[in-house]
């Protein structure tokens, strides 16, 4: 861990954002230890509408053996399912950062699926507090929608593991309200339902969100840099409306 931190700090200091990620250990197929899900959550999350989560699995991402998906839920929430994140070997790593809504927190459960070894699970507790000044979510705001963004390094060496950051402006509400001791649906949900990632014509990632995704999500994931290509990110909301943005990947100057 310390080694990684130094590595990352060094990369930032040199102005080489975004992060170049170390490659995962190869040749560990079949080892139990590599089906360990690392879940990072704050001890005490302070924005119930945007609990930040990092999930990753240190595991090969080879064509015949890779982590196919990570599925996140919090059973005691009114919208328990937070998202399912599907990966391919082109990601280079099963890793995602995003933000979700949780009124009071609880046990976050992540179910991973390995193409060879099946499912495995990990849990982590999170507490959520509310600042007390916050007002209830604005159910009607639709002013800022879209402006999708991708950020990744300007020039990459093929095989580099990089962090891709994406963002879209979009409100998010569950449509549920707490009435008479339980949650009832007051209006339709409105949220970013899906993010698809393509490298040229190939779909390399599929992130399925729920109405528990935070407003204006910032989503990070890994990409094993190709020699060249076009990265395309496509967001679709719960009403079927879509926004896309692309980034051309150029070969590094030799």
Partner 1 sequence: MMTLSRREFLRASGTGAGLGLLATAGITACAAPMKGDIMPKMGRRVVVIGGGWGGATAAKYVRLADPSIEVILLEPNKEFVSCPFSNLVLSGLMSIDSMTFGYDGLRRHGVKVLHEMATAIEPDARRVRVGEGYLQYDRLIVSPGVDFLWEQVDGLSAARDSVLHAWKAGPQTVQLAGQLHAMADGGVFVLTVPPVAYRCPPGPYERVCQVAWYLKTNKPRAKILVLDANKNIVSKTGLFQAAWKAYPNIEYRPASRVEKIDSRAREVTTEIGDKVKYDVINLIPPQRAGTIAVQADLVGADKRWCEVNHLTYESVKHKGIHVIGDSTTGLPVPKSGNIANAMGKICAVAVVHLLNGKEVPPMAPGNTCYSWVSDREAIAVVNAYKIENGKVVQIEQKLTPGASAAVAQNSIGWRTSIWNDILG
Q: Which residues bind partner 1 (CB under 8 A)?
A: 1, 4-5, 8, 12, 17-19, 21-22, 38, 40, 42-47, 49-50, 52, 54, 56, 58, 93, 95, 97, 99, 129-135, 138, 144, 149, 151, 163, 165, 167, 169, 214-218, 222
Closer CB to partner 1, residue 90 or residue 201? 90
- In the complex, least distance from residue 32 CB atom to partner 1, rounded to whole angstroms: 16
Closer CB to partner 1, residue 54 or residue 230? 54
- In the complex, least distance from residue 220 CB atom to partner 1, rounded to whole angstroms: 8
Q: Token pair for residue 242? A: 């879509």
Contact at 8 Å (CB) between 16 and 7? no
Contact at 8 Å (CB) between 201 and 230? no
Output the CA torsion 165→166→169→175 (10° steps). Answer: -100
- Residue 165: phi and psi, rounded to 5, are -115, 135
- Residue 8: phi and psi, rounded to 5, are -70, -45
Closer CB to partner 1, residue 18 or residue 175? 18
Closer CB to partner 1, residue 22 or residue 251? 22
Closer CB to partner 1, residue 121 or residue 129? 129
- In the complex, least distance from residue 33 CB atom to partner 1, rounded to whole angstroms: 11
| Contacting residues for 5 by C-beta, under 8 A, at least 6 apart | none
- In the complex, least distance from residue 50 CB atom to partner 1, rounded to whole angstroms: 5
- In the complex, least distance from residue 230 CB atom to partner 1, rounded to whole angstroms: 18
Q: Which of 208, 217, 206, 237 is nearest to 99 (CA)?
A: 217
Upstream peptide bond of 18 is cis (omega within 30 degrees of 0): yes
- In the complex, least distance from residue 113 CB atom to partner 1, rounded to whole angstroms: 19
Closer CB to partner 1, residue 201 or residue 219? 219
Closer CB to partner 1, residue 22 or residue 158? 22
- Report long-range pairs for 165-168 (Cβ below 8 Å, ≥24 apart): 165/18, 165/218, 165/219, 165/220, 166/195, 166/218, 166/219, 166/220, 166/221, 166/233, 167/216, 167/217, 167/218, 167/219, 168/192, 168/195, 168/216, 168/217, 168/235, 168/243
- In the complex, least distance from residue 1 CB atom to partner 1, rounded to whole angstroms: 6
* First vs last C-alpha separation in the chain: 32
């Amino acid at each position: 861990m310390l080694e990684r931190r130094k590595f990352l700090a060094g990369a930032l200091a040199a102005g080489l954002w975004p992060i170049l990620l170390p490659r995962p250990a190869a040749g560990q197929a079949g080892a139990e230890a590599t089906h360990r899900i690392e879940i990072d959550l704050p001890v005490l999350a302070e924005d119930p509408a945007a609990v930040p989560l990092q999930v990753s699995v240190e595991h090969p991402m080879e064509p015949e053996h890779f982590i196919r998906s990570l599925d996140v839920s919090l059973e005691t929430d009114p919208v328990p399912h937070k998202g399912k994140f599907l990966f391919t070997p082109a990601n280079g790593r099963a890793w995602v950062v995003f933000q979700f809504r949780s009124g009071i927190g609880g046990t976050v459960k992540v179910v991973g699926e390995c193409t060879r070894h099946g499912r495995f699970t990990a849990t982590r507790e999170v507490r959520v507090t509310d600042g007390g000044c916050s007002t209830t979510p604005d159910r009607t705001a639709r002013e800022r929608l879209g402006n999708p963004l991708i950020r990744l390094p300007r020039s990459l060496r093929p095989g580099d593991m990089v962090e891709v950051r994406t963002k879209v402006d979009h409100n998010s509400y569950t449509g549920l309200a707490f009435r008479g001791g339980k949650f009832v649906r007051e209006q339709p949900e409105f949220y970013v339902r899906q993010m698809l990632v393509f490298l040229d014509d190939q779909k390399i990632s599929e992130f399925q969100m729920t109405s528990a995704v935070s407003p204006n999500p910032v989503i990070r994931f890994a990409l094993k840099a190709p020699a060249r290509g076009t990265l395309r990110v496509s967001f679709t909301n719960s009403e079927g409306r879509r926004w896309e943005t692309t980034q051309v990947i150029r070969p590094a100057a030799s």
